[in-house]
Amino acid sequence: MTASIAAPTRISPWVRLRGQLRNLAPLVTLVALIALFSATSPSFATLSNLSNVLQQVSITAIIAVGLTFVILCAEIDLSVASVANATGILVAFLTVQDASVNIPNLPLPGWLAIMGGLAGCLALGAVTAFGVTRIGIPSFIMTLAMLQIGNGICALLVRGQIAYSVPPVLLTLGSGSIGPVPWIVVVAGLTLLVGHLVLTYTRFGRYIYMVGGNREAAEHSGVGVKAVVGAALLISALCSGAAGMLGVAYFGSAQQNQFDNYLLDAISAVVVGGTSLFGGQGGIGNTIVGLLVLGVLNNGLDHVRMDSFLKILIRGLVLLLALVVNVYAQRLRAKYRSAGG
């Protein structure tokens, strides 16, 4: 009696191409936007405007790196903007020079103020990680609560005041330039590079994808799922804090609600770029494409003098389209797997 061996299912090129929809759609969108705005505005396709686009997305990029780690774990962090705001305000008030601001034993040395800011953002991240991994609160609800806590810390620190002083090194990195290139673009690029290297070439990066791809299988393989998720949330808080400190120097002041728009921008960059909301698929490369799509879209709409209210609507529609592609790509991936691909 001979055993029959089932022939492997052939996957057509069209099915394979659809399986890459999550990665291809953002690239096609980016190329189309560049072509559109280059044709409609002579001042768009210039080196100086490219520098403007990169500078405009730099703070978002730093926040989005940490958020990429979290979303790859199939979690979410809604507190990134409030953590950035609280950290920036904390550093500014630790280095405040204005005698009208009644804070004892200040200003602190610049390095000590920076360490205080980093300790503050990591403390907020640790609270989030503890609530998600130890208590078992869903990350959506836990980070929503931390968003409110971060906003409350900002209100307590600000109390109607505005701080303008930051350590000199932050002032250089946030608003200075190295030749024609702004330092904040360099810092954002290095942050993206480090995030990519960690996710691609380290064991921790592999664990991130394993946890997001199949949490039960990761647990059976001996991966400390709670530790990986907690570390991702800490990385997200650290990136948000760094962005907040540089953002204060970039904006020239620290005040309440300064980073509110960055929550939607950072989530949009990660999702529009093609990182799966269901975890396990995507990475920093996708986030870079998403950042460029949003940067080109916002900058290009300014060049064609689009109504500011319509601009907000268009950004929302782009995010909605990215969500639809994200969900559709997830279904195609499941179908592709079931077909033996």
pLDDT at 65 over 60: yes
pLDDT at 102 over 50: no
Cα 86 to Cα 322: distance, rounded to the nearest angstrom = 30
- Comparing 27 with 80, which gets the higher pLDDT? 80
What is the dihedral sign for C-alpha 228, 233, 236, 242? negative
Question: Given 1.10.287, 2.40.160, 1.10.3470, 3.30.460, which CATH number is that of 46-328?
Answer: 1.10.3470
Strand pairing report for 181-182 and 177-178:
antiparallel
Position 109 confidence tier, pLDDT thresholds 50, 70, 90: confident
Q: Are 67 and 266 in contact (CB under 8 A)?
A: yes
Rounded to an integer, the average pLDDT of 50-65 is 94
* pLDDT tens digits along 223-247: 999 999 999 999 999 999 999 999 9
Amino acid code (one letter) for 112:
L
Q: What angle do CA 149, 82, 233 make, to 5 degrees?
A: 85
Amino acid code (one letter) for 285:
G
Cα 152 to Cα 133: distance, rounded to the nearest angstrom = 24
Q: What is the pLDDT of residue 75?
A: 95
Q: Domain coordinates of the chain in residue numbers?
A: 46-328
* pLDDT tens digits along 266-279: 999 998 888 888 88
Cα 328 to Cα 339: distance, rounded to the nearest angstrom = 17
Q: Give backbone dihedrals phi and psi of 179, rounded to 5 degrees, phi first.
A: 70, -130
What is the dihedral sign for C-alpha 152, 154, 157, 159? negative
Q: What is the pLDDT of residue 320?
A: 82
Cα 187 to Cα 251: distance, rounded to the nearest angstrom = 16
Cα 228 to Cα 208: distance, rounded to the nearest angstrom = 7
* pLDDT tens digits along 122-181: 999 999 999 999 999 999 999 999 999 999 999 888 877 777 778 888 889 988 888 889
